[in-house]
Amino acid sequence: MISIRNITKTFNTPFGKVDVLKDVNLNIEKGDIFGIIGFSGAGKSTLIRCLNCLESPDGGEVYIGNKEISSLSNKELRSARKKIGMIFQQFNLLDSRTVFENIAFPLEIAKYPKNKIKDRVEELLKLVELTDKRNAYPAQLSGGQKQRVGIARALANDPDVLLSDEATSALDPQTTYSILKLLKDINKKLGLTIILITHELEVIKYCCNNVAVLEDGKIIENRDVESFFANPTSDTAKLFLNITKQLQNCTVTVGGDGI
């Protein structure tokens, strides 16, 4: 379904060139929920943005289905992006638009038939369980509700692929769980291929089937989630697991009582 071949990306900074991605290779099967994990600065967000060419790779190829996304013209890319939904950490909602209008916006841009927009938005509101919030504005929503709007908006054009860039890192644990459950349900109902960028192991453990570890712009581990947690091979994966275990074992004490 998705094939990333020898992708490289370099940024020019005031301090010189920085190689952010270094010959990244990855294959993701249709219908998978695939996690990409790494510490800050590993290149995770740059990699996911290369999948829809929000960032143009300097070298290599990105295939989604039988299309080489990285070689499309601007017109062809605009068309291809309709089938690649994306949800963001900071929601990116339009404050002046209601929930209904935010979800309708990508349909309007894509010149979706006007007489069918209402039915499509209502269908998506039901899917993300926000029917009662259709007339609310983003300022009236919780973080979890805003992210549900973001998910509905990303699904508006019936994509084949859904990209999630740290979509739960700004949410509390309970809300994170509800969003991940929603993504799993969407994956099951719609057969979407979902790619999750995260630095949270619990997200990988709960939601993903397969995982790749990114370190300093390189894939250093790529395997199914069960074997990843049972027997990590890279130092980065072992460090992630060790830190997570230490945090889980921490007890905050106030006045002598554990909390």
What total number of domains does the chain contain? 2
d(CA 71, CA 77): 9
Q: Which helix or strand (DSSP H or E) is residue 73 part of? A: none
Same domain, 222 and 132: no
Residue 70's pLDDT is: 84
Q: What's the rounded Cα separation, in Å, for the pair 148 and 219? A: 30
For residue 229, the model assigns a pLDDT of 93
Claim to verify: residue 200 and residue 78 sit in the same structural domain: yes
Q: How far apart are CA 2 and CA 24, in angstroms?
A: 13
In this structure, the strands spanning 59-64 and 67-68 are antiparallel
Q: What is the pLDDT of residues 128-159, one digit of tens each?
A: 999 999 999 999 999 999 999 999 999 999 99
Least confident window among 79-83, 92-96, 205-209: 79-83
Residue 231 lies in a domain: yes
CATH of the domain at 71: 3.40.50.300
Distance CA 225, CA 208 (A): 7
Closest of 157, 167, 162, 160 to residue 104, by C-alpha: 157
Q: Are residues 13 and 78 in the same domain?
A: yes
Cβ(166)–Cβ(89) under 8 Å? yes
pLDDT band at 112 (very low <50, low <70, confident <90, very high): very high
Sign of CA pseudo-dihedral 90, 91, 92, 96: negative
Best CA proximity match to 191, nearest among 242, 155, 238 = 155
Over its C-alpha atoms, the chain yields an Rg (Å, rounded) of 19
* Per-residue confidence band for 251, with pLDDT thresholds at 50, 70 and 90: very low
Summarize the confidence of residues 69-84 as an average pLDDT: 89
Helices (H), 85-234: 99-109, 114-127, 143-155, 173-190, 201-207, 225-230
In angstroms, the Cα distances linking 2 to 8, 18, 44, 137, 163 are 17, 26, 16, 36, 12
Other Cβ atoms less than 10 A from the Cβ of 104: the count is 21
Give domain status of residue 182, yes or no.
Answer: no
Distances (CA, A) of 123 to 2, 117, 119: 28, 10, 6
Sheet with strand 67-68: strands edge to edge: 16-28, 2-13, 59-64, 67-68
- Domain assignment of residue 183, yes or no: no
Question: Domain limits at 132?
Answer: 93-158
What is the sign, positive or negative, of the torsion defined by CA atoms of 218, 11, 91, 97?
Answer: negative
Q: pLDDT tens across 179-235, in order?
A: 999 999 999 999 999 999 998 899 999 999 999 999 999 999 999 999 999 999 999
Both 165 and 224 in one domain: the answer is: yes
Position 170 scores a pLDDT of 80
Check whether residue 166 and residue 130 sit in a common domain.
no
Do 71 and 165 belong to one domain? yes
The whole-number pLDDT of residue 252 equals 46
In Å, how far are 83, 110, 136 from 76, measured between CA atoms?
A: 12, 13, 35
The two three-digit tokens of residue 153, written as one number:
């908006």
Count of other CB atoms within 10 angstroms of residue 51: 23
